[in-house]
Amino acid sequence: QVQLVESGGGLVQAGGSLRLSCAASGSIGSINAMGWYRQAPGKQRELVAVITSGGSTNYAGSVKGRFTLSRDNAKNTVYLQMNSLKPEDTAVYYCNLVVLLDAYWGQGTQVTVSS
């Protein structure tokens, strides 16, 4: 069984920064990709950033240049550094892990950016 433990959400003013962490544990095996999605009220869940097993990263256009995704392979952990936060970044952020054909989700962490 795979577990994802997220941390780092909270309330921040516009222009501020937050760092999210997601640690994977359990029967992980070979990780294909790991990253973050977010879902704002009344909107669909959307990709924020993902890093593949080969080290390639992909960012949503709305966060490119402001967010940075990194990983610690030894700890099966990814970090999302979010800078220059905007009110429109307010959402529940979900960690996502893809192992072979299986996808796993964290419980979500709330990020609220006040104007």
Query: Which tokens is 96 given?
Result: 């996502």
Instruction: Give the N- to C-terminal CA distance of the chain in Å, as an integer.
Output: 40
Q: Is the pLDDT of residue 90 over 80?
A: yes
Which tens digits make up the pLDDT trace of 37-87?
A: 999 999 999 999 999 988 899 999 999 999 999 999 889 999 999 999 999
Sign of the alpha-carbon dihedral angle for 8, 31, 2, 39 = positive
Query: What's the burial of 23, exposed, middle or buried (CB within 10 Å: 0-12/13-18/19+)?
Result: middle
Which residues contact residue 61 at a Cβ distance below 8 angstroms, ignoring those fewer than 6 apart?
none
